[in-house]
Amino acid sequence: MFTSTIDTATEFEKRFEKINTHVFDNSANASKAVAQQIAALIKEKQSQNKTCVLGLATGSSPKSLYAELVRLHREEQLSFKNVITFNLDEYYPMKAESIHSYVRFMNEQLFDHIDILKENIHIPDGTLAKNEIAGFCTQYEDQIEKTGGIDLQILGIGGNGHIGFNESGSLQNSKTRLVALDHSTRIAASKEFEGLKNTPRTAITLGVHKIMEAKRVILLAWGESKSAIIAKAVEEGLTNLVPASFLQEHQHVDFILDKEAASKLTRINKPWLVEEVNWTDKLISKAVLDLAISLEKPILMLTDADYIENGMSDLLAQMGPAYDINIRIFNKLQNTITGWPGGKPGADDSKRPERALPAKKRVLIFSPHPDDDIISMGGTFKRLHEQGHEVHVAYQTSGNIAVADDEAIRFAKFITDYNEAFGISCDEAQSIYNKSFDFLKTKEIGGIDIPELRKIKGIIRRGEARATSHFVGLPDIQIHFMNLPFYETGAIEKNPLGAEDIALTIDLIEQIKPHQIYAAGDLADPHGTHKVCLDAVFEALKQIKHKDFMKDCWLWLYRGAWQEWGIDEIDMAVPMGPDQVIEKRFGIFKHQSQKDGVVFQGSDSREFWQRAEDRNRETAELYDKLGLAHYAAMEAFVKWEY
């Protein structure tokens, strides 16, 4: 059985859930727990002189699991010689040696680092002729049967609820087959292929029927981006629109989640509907705001009947009447709004989000990529500078992989043309251009650039970031390019956060000694760049929080271009007028390499400035609908206790 640091819910509290769910504080601890289960199964089979048949998944979810299994092999001598594996799927067509193939993924993540016998590894073949696929799929299932069936199947879950590549609409009796990939699945994978147009349209997948025949199933899900589909699969009815919901009928299945992936489960998201709760200020805010939004009512228009009819009668009994609760939450939300993100000098700050003193603060804005600062908090960024604070911006990574190849080669050609126009002799510049041009002729989609090309792309993004900071008004001395080492792999796949990344972060904080730190608080993907950059900040603050200057330092988290904080989470909302919205747009325009044909655009045709404006407008509209002042736009922040 699983024992987690968070999952202490009783069976009564889980009564909305139709699948066993276990919630861990983070994906690393969850993966260690699953690895221990796998290790125990392997050892049990070894003691019986039997083979252990594992069904394995790919994608980001099992990466930390495979890393832990490798550690168990290296440090605790866990042997895999009795293990037979069958992978769930493979893109089609796909060469085994391609950087995108699941053959390569499994070798790099697991097989090359353990003592498994090569003949015991089975992965769907993406190189077959189409007329060979049906026969191969039948043979694949026969091989599983001959081993006695899968002892333990590891799964991830797609944003549309797919398991393997069994997309929405797949049937419970579906066999191993060639499938067309859902548009949303291709969007999710498109960043690996440098755009949707390059992303495969088909794949070979193990069928739902074979997955359901596994003796045991463990599904892994990490991050906020999986929370909505997890709630559907676990709590709603059985439907082929969410193939993961079929697992409700499996006799031995566990969903292993981090707290972000579990955040929309009823017992976590709306615990007052599940059990008698301790009505803390935070929980009251969450419940009342959720009620107002679901009923489409301003806060002050909620009635006693609204509370009673929506499972909140105990709150009404303890804190009511509704009028009193409404006023309390309305005032609390009203107090999050401020035009003074650095604090208003000479004002009573007892109900303001930020302190009035010191009147002039040192501010450090961490930006994971070279444009996150202006996209996510550009209005606040500019206002902090205009209100006299000493604002520093730190670009944590170079962002070089997000520059299109043709943009980089155009830039390199500009240099050679510039030299020629002004009679500057520079054979090295021409050589770099020629080398880059020749490399791009044979570069595989999503392939790793040569160092020269990566440096050119980094220079482009650095110049754009500097232009934005100059637009805001910052001098060069307050613009910091960190180039954290974890990012510099030249590929989508990054290295784990390391000691050098944290040391660079600590050095910068100690150099500036800020009163305010702003960081990207995106929790959607635990392996994503934003989350790794946030972890670097968290770890740095953990190591130096005992220092005197840190006693006066507050940490504010903003969100990236893709989503916003929940209204109940917001501690500070900085309003913007129409003119300030336009100013922010002009700041975003400085990032010319990220306009129009963005490498990781996916299916969303909006440019970053449009996404940012839409999100900021929607936040302001939500405040308006709840009965507060109406603004053109708002940027939202959460104060984080470290």
For residues 281 and 264, membership in a common domain is answered with: no
pLDDT at 450: 94
Residue 414 lies in a domain: no
Answer with the one of 318, 336, 354 that is the final residue of a domain. Answer: 336
For residues 315 and 212, membership in a common domain is answered with: no
User: What's the burial of 511, exposed, middle or buried (CB within 10 Å: 0-12/13-18/19+)?
Assistant: exposed
Answer with the one of 238, 268, 298 that is the final residue of a domain. Answer: 268
Amino acid at 422: F
For residues 203 and 285, membership in a common domain is answered with: no
Cα gap 120→66, rounded to integer Å: 17
The three-class DSSP label of residue 503 is helix
Cα-flanking dihedrals φ and ψ of residue 153, to 5°? -105, 125
For residues 48 and 164, membership in a common domain is answered with: yes
Under 8 Å between Cβ of 269 and 254: no
For residues 519 and 382, membership in a common domain is answered with: yes
Cα–Cα distances (Å) from 450 to 72, 396, 443, in that order, read: 35, 22, 10
For residues 199 and 310, membership in a common domain is answered with: no
Q: For the chain, which ranges sit under pLDDT 50?
A: 601-603
Residue 330 lies in a domain: yes
pLDDT at 15: 80
For residues 242 and 383, membership in a common domain is answered with: no
Residue 440 lies in a domain: no
In terms of C-beta distances under 8 Å and separation of at least 24 residues, what long-range contacts does 314-322 make, across chains too? 314/272, 314/276, 314/277, 314/279, 315/272, 315/279, 315/284, 315/287, 318/279, 319/279, 319/284
Residue 427 lies in a domain: no
Residue 449 lies in a domain: no
For residues 49 and 84, membership in a common domain is answered with: yes
For residues 390 and 289, membership in a common domain is answered with: no
Answer with the one of 320, 336, 352 that is the final residue of a domain. Answer: 336
Residue 607 annotated to the active site:
no
For residues 235 and 282, membership in a common domain is answered with: no
Residue 387 lies in a domain: yes
- Counting the structural domains of the chain, the total is 3
Of 140, 34, 147, 146, residue with least CA distance to 90? 140
- How many degrees, rounded to 5, is the angle at CA 462 between CA 461 and CA 468? 90
Q: In this structure, what CATH number is given to the domain that contains residue 231?
A: 3.40.50.1360
pLDDT at 561: 67
Residue 415 lies in a domain: no
Q: For 337, which DSSP code?
A: B
Amino acid at 104: R
Q: Which of the following is catalytic: 167, 224, 235, 407?
A: 167
Residue 426 lies in a domain: no
Helices (H), 545-607: 578-589
For residues 238 and 377, membership in a common domain is answered with: no
Q: Which domain holds residue 393?
A: 362-404+454-640
Q: In this structure, what CATH number is given to the domain that contains residue 618?
A: 3.40.50.10320
For residues 366 and 329, membership in a common domain is answered with: no
